[in-house]
Structures are given as structure tokens and as C-alpha cells.
Chains A and B, each alone.
Chain A
């Protein structure tokens, strides 16, 4: 055994199966309320956009009289849902990194 290979352990390593019941930011654990808050804000943004569009498109259609425009609008909004879903997925995953 050589002296160079000795490593000074400054911090006690986490034991296997250590209890993770305490999620204390000071303890180095993740801050759950902050994570929940960030995710909730992002989720409410998406849900708000969905609600605005879902109520807005039928209301706007009152002033549109061409039937083909209704047809096209109903298909276009399906595309918007896909875009919103992809955006929500990417943002939620970025928040988790």
C-alpha cells in the first residue's frame, strides 16, 4: 500500500438503502415544493392556452360564414393540439433536468 493512493474521505458516503424521506434543500436533496411549483406553472400555461383556443375557436366561427372555413379550422386546431403537446413535453422534460 502506497501513501499516494490514500484518499481522504471528507463526507460520509450515503449508505445503501438510506432513507430519502427527508427532502431538505440543505441536506442536498431535491426541493420538492419548488419543483412542483415550476411544473405547475408550466402546466397551467399549457392548459390556459388549450382553454382559450377551445372556447375561442367556436366563438370566432360566429363571424365566419363559409362552411369550408369551419371544416378547415376544425382540422387546423387538431394540429395546434399536437404542437402544444410537443411544446409541453419538451418544457416539462427541461424542467426535470
Chain B
């Protein structure tokens, strides 16, 4: 089995690096970037977004949770996909028309505050690190489980491939890597799933229990099969999706607001197709795999159902699909966070971007080495919760409410982020405050919104000048706006 698994992993990594560096379309200026941007049609960009969303958590973690915790976990995939309808309705077109590339850019442009840019960059960094650590841990677990090699080999493989993709190619080639990997993942997971279903067909399907029950939740309330526990997680996912740095940065790959909307709809369609995968594997895993951590159940399934060389080949294919997921999300997050950090620390440029990418990746590797193996869904959910409590109110109020002030946003960041951190820490310390706080979002999101609105109302003097012009730029469709209002990018845009 080791040979099949290593071949699959090597194939995906080499493919990713080759696709990534075959078209080094690095933008050196505004005009280059626009050319690159127009070359990405909505369905291609939609596949790239779907690829970043279907990370280790979606491919391995959710199926494992459904297998071990039963029916209530079926609702988890609905949360993240609902988040895309919310993005489409509230965020995508105005954000694309604002011309700001990252969330920190948006904070600085909308509220004219460099300090807010720094706090937004910090939040983006924390969320991005949570996502990357989840991918690296999952990669280590796959390597250890299937080949017996030490986990750090998996971390290094993913990290170096993501580094090459981020540094050699620009955003254009990252798009092609991501889109190619989405189709690879879909074919592999759906194909192997169908074969396993057929193999298990002789034996009857063991349905899990379709009922809520009480159980001990994990980090950030993950895996709580009670009704309130599920609802808290759904709130975090639906609102947190809009603040994920790697999702928002993709919007910029389209040339205007209209195209950006269309790529979110394309993402929605592709995710709806992919979301057949976790319940399918969860159902099969529930019947046939009865041991091991939840992230590993999917990978153990083929060998359990089809012992022999066929099972080994299918396991190799699944390992390849899983590594495609890890690489896609790690590279996407790395490019997005690296761009945000480099713009905050130094003058925009290719060198600053590459330095930032290296530093972020080193931080992610250090955190992975320092923390014990974690369930991928829990870490991803932590990122969702923090994003829902801080960046979601910034985006929603910043786009739709003209009276927002920088003091209000700072208060919202402090309270939303603070409440999230306190609730997660006390949950880990073992202090129980009821099921509503097992995931921090249902408390932290209203607190953050209320803080932003109230502090903004009492500091009307801090409203940035030119709000009317900003609202016009965000909300007027391109054909109504004059050439001066439409800008495809900011001056001295990022190297990616």
C-alpha cells in the first residue's frame, strides 16, 4: 500500500508545482494584473474557490464526524455552503467594485485608518494560520497512517509545494492550480466513493441514528450532536465564510462585480455537487470502520471493503485526492495571508511578498510542531468563529451602513475577538457555561455587531470624509460609474 500512497502523493505534488509554475503570470503592475484578471472566467474561478473551501475538513474530517457522531453532523456541510449565499447577497459585488484587494485593504480604504489595517491584518493572520495548521496536521496524519513514515515528512511536503506555487506563480497560476485540483478531488473522491458503495452493496447499509443526543463537544463546539450545539456551529459557518481571507481574495480575480457574482454562483453549484461526498463516506465508514480518529476513517475505508491490490490502489488515489485538498487550501491561504502581511509591513513588491510568504509558512510549521495532532474540523471551525465575530461585522456594516466609524470597528474587533478568545480558552480549561457558548459565535457575533453600531453612533465626528463617494463606488454598477470611479486595482498592487 505504501508504494501506491507515495505514488499518489508525489503525483499530486508534482502536478501542482508544474501547473503552478508553467504559466508564471506574475503581475508587476496594475495593467498586468488586469490582463491576468480578465483571463479567468467565472466558472474557472468558481472551481478555484470551491477547491479552497473543500480542504482537509471537508474531504476527511466531516465524513469522519458523520461516521462517529451520527446524523446531526449531516447539517455541518450546509453551514459553509449557506455562507456563500450570504456572501453573494451581501458582500461580493460591492467588495469587488471597491477595488480593495484584501480585507485589511478594505478596512483602511473604507475607514481611512492605518491602525485598523494592522488589526485586520492580525486577524487575517490568525485565521489563516488556523487553516494552514489544520492542513499540515492532516497531511502528517495521512503520511503516518498510510505509510508509517514520521508525520513531519507530510508537513514538509505540503509546505514546500505550497511555497513553490506561491512564490513562482502569481495569482493567475494559483487559480489554475486550485481549479485543476478541484476537478481532481471531485473525480477521486466521488469515483472511489462509488466503487466502495458498490463493494459494500452486497452487505446491507447500516444507517446511523437519526436523532439528536447530548455528548461532550470538542474544540470550538465541534462534534456536539445536540440540536443547540449544531445550530451554534451553523451560525459560525454561515457568517464566518465571508471573512475567510483566501475566499475574499479570489473575488478580485474577476474583472468586475458582475463576473465576481457569477463565480460565487459557480462555486455554489460545484460545492453542492461535492457535498455528496462527506455523507457518502460517513455512511460507509459508520458501517465498516469502527476505530481510529475521525480524520482517518475515510482513508481506512477502501482497504477495509476491498482487501488486496484494488483496495491499495484506491487508498493511493484517496491519498492523492487528500493531498490535493491540503495543497490547494495551504497555497490559497498562503498567497492571501502573505499578500496582506507584506502590504502591512513593507512597501508593496515581489520581494516583500515572498519574504512574508516564507515567514507565514515558518510560523505555521512551528505551530504545527508545537501543538498536538488536532481534528481538522475543529481548527477550521475556530477560524470560522473568529472571522464571524470580527471580519463579518466589518464587511456587512462597512458595505451597507454609511455611518460606521473607525472607533466603532476597533471596539467591535476588540469585543468580538476578545469574547471568542475567552470562550474558547475557558472551554478548553474545562469551565462549562452551557451549550450556547460551546461555540463562541452565537454570543460573540451579536456583541461585535452591537459594539460597532453603538460606538459608531456616539462618535459621529469620526466618520471618514467622502463616504458618499465610497458608497457610490461600491454600489454603482460599472456601466453607471464613470471611468474615474472604476478602478481595477489599487496603486502599487500586490505581487500576487
Using a CB–CB cutoff of 8 Å, the interface residues on chain A facing chain B are: 17-21, 23, 30, 32-33, 35-36, 39-40, 42-44, 46-47, 50-51, 53-55, 57-59, 61-62, 64-71, 73-75, 77-79, 81-82, 84-86, 88-89, 92-93, 96
Cross-chain contact B89 with A67 (CB below 8 angstroms): no
Q: Does B288 sit within 8 A of A, measured CB to CB? A: no
Cross-chain contact A20 with B485 (CB below 8 angstroms): yes
Q: Give chain B interface residues in 451-496, CB to chain A under 8 Å.
A: 468-469, 471-472, 475-477, 480-485
Q: Give chain B interface residues in 73-97, CB to chain A under 8 Å.
A: 74-75, 77-79, 81-82, 84-86, 88-90, 93
- Most central of A17, A43, A57, A66 by chain B CB within 10 Å: A43
Q: Does B181 sit within 8 A of A, measured CB to CB? A: no
Complex CA gap A21/B468 in Å reads 8
Cross-chain contact A47 with B230 (CB below 8 angstroms): no
Cross-chain contact B210 with A70 (CB below 8 angstroms): yes
Interfacial chain A residues near B283, Cβ < 8 Å? 71
Cross-chain contact A74 with B75 (CB below 8 angstroms): yes
Cross-chain contact B79 with A54 (CB below 8 angstroms): yes
Which of B79, B86, B472 makes the CB contact (< 8 A) with A23?
B472
Cross-chain contact B207 with A67 (CB below 8 angstroms): yes
Q: Give chain B interface residues in 252-293, CB to chain A under 8 Å.
A: 258, 261-262, 264-265, 268-269, 271-272, 275-276, 279, 283
Q: Does B72 sit within 8 A of A, measured CB to CB? A: yes
Q: Measured between C-beta atoms, what is the minimum distance from B262 to chain A in Å? A: 7
Complex CA gap A89/B85 in Å reads 10
The list of the 3 closest CB pairs from A to B, nearest first, reads A67-B210, A67-B207, A43-B89
Interfacial chain A residues near B468, Cβ < 8 Å? 23, 32
Cross-chain contact B86 with A82 (CB below 8 angstroms): no
Cross-chain contact A85 with B84 (CB below 8 angstroms): yes
Interfacial chain B residues near A47, Cβ < 8 Å? 85-86, 89-90
Complex CA gap A81/B234 in Å reads 14
Q: Does B212 sit within 8 A of A, measured CB to CB? A: yes
Cross-chain contact A40 with B400 (CB below 8 angstroms): yes
Interfacial chain B residues near A73, Cβ < 8 Å? 74
In the complex, which residue of chain A has the Cβ closest to the Cβ of B286? A67
Cross-chain contact B84 with A65 (CB below 8 angstroms): no
* In the complex with contacts A58-B231, A85-B85, A92-B93, A32-B269 CB distance below 8 A: no
Q: Measured between C-beta atoms, what is the minimum distance from A80 to chain B in Å? A: 9
Q: Measured between C-beta atoms, what is the minimum distance from A48 to chain B in Å? A: 10
Q: Measured between C-beta atoms, what is the minimum distance from B230 to chain A in Å? A: 5
Interfacial chain B residues near A81, Cβ < 8 Å? 78, 81-82, 84-85, 268, 272
- Most central of A66, A69, A71 by chain B CB within 10 Å: A71
Cross-chain contact A78 with B234 (CB below 8 angstroms): no
Which of B210, B264, B480 makes the CB contact (< 8 A) with A66?
B210
Q: Give chain B interface residues in 223-255, CB to chain A under 8 Å.
A: 227, 230-231, 234, 238
Cross-chain contact A58 with B471 (CB below 8 angstroms): no
Interfacial chain A residues near B71, Cβ < 8 Å? 61, 67, 70
Interfacial chain A residues near B483, Cβ < 8 Å? 17
Complex CA gap A79/B271 in Å reads 10
Complex CA gap A87/B460 in Å reads 37
* In the complex with contacts A55-B231, A85-B264, A17-B484 CB distance below 8 A: yes
Complex CA gap A74/B469 in Å reads 43
Q: Give chain B interface residues in 41-60, CB to chain A under 8 Å.
A: none
Cross-chain contact A71 with B279 (CB below 8 angstroms): yes
Cross-chain contact B485 with A57 (CB below 8 angstroms): no
Interfacial chain A residues near B272, Cβ < 8 Å? 78-79, 81-82
Apart from A81-B84, A96-B480, what 10 extra A-B contacts exist at CB < 8 Å? A20-B482, A35-B475, A46-B89, A54-B238, A58-B230, A69-B210, A74-B75, A75-B276, A79-B272, A85-B85
Complex CA gap A92/B260 in Å reads 13
Which of B79, B210, B265 makes the CB contact (< 8 A) with A86?
B265
Cross-chain contact B400 with A89 (CB below 8 angstroms): no
Q: Measured between C-beta atoms, what is the minimum distance from A88 to chain B in Å? A: 5
Q: Does B183 sit within 8 A of A, measured CB to CB? A: no
Complex CA gap A78/B468 in Å reads 38
Cross-chain contact A74 with B90 (CB below 8 angstroms): no
Cross-chain contact A85 with B75 (CB below 8 angstroms): no
Cross-chain contact A57 with B75 (CB below 8 angstroms): yes
Interfacial chain A residues near B72, Cβ < 8 Å? 58
A/B interface sample: 19 pairs, CB < 8 A: A21-B469, A23-B472, A32-B475, A36-B400, A44-B89, A54-B78, A55-B231, A58-B75, A65-B211, A67-B209, A74-B75, A74-B279, A78-B271, A78-B275, A79-B272, A81-B78, A81-B81, A92-B89, A93-B261
Complex CA gap A47/B86 in Å reads 6
Q: Does B197 sit within 8 A of A, measured CB to CB? A: no
Cross-chain contact A32 with B472 (CB below 8 angstroms): yes
In the complex, which residue of chain A has the Cβ closest to the Cβ of B87? A85
Complex CA gap A78/B279 in Å reads 12
Interfacial chain A residues near B475, Cβ < 8 Å? 32, 35-36, 39
Interfacial chain A residues near B89, Cβ < 8 Å? 42-44, 46-47, 50, 88, 92
In the complex, which residue of chain A has the Cβ closest to the Cβ of B205? A68
In the complex, which residue of chain B has the Cβ closest to the Cβ of A43? B89
Q: Measured between C-beta atoms, what is the minimum distance from A59 to chain B in Å? A: 7
Q: Does B208 sit within 8 A of A, measured CB to CB? A: yes
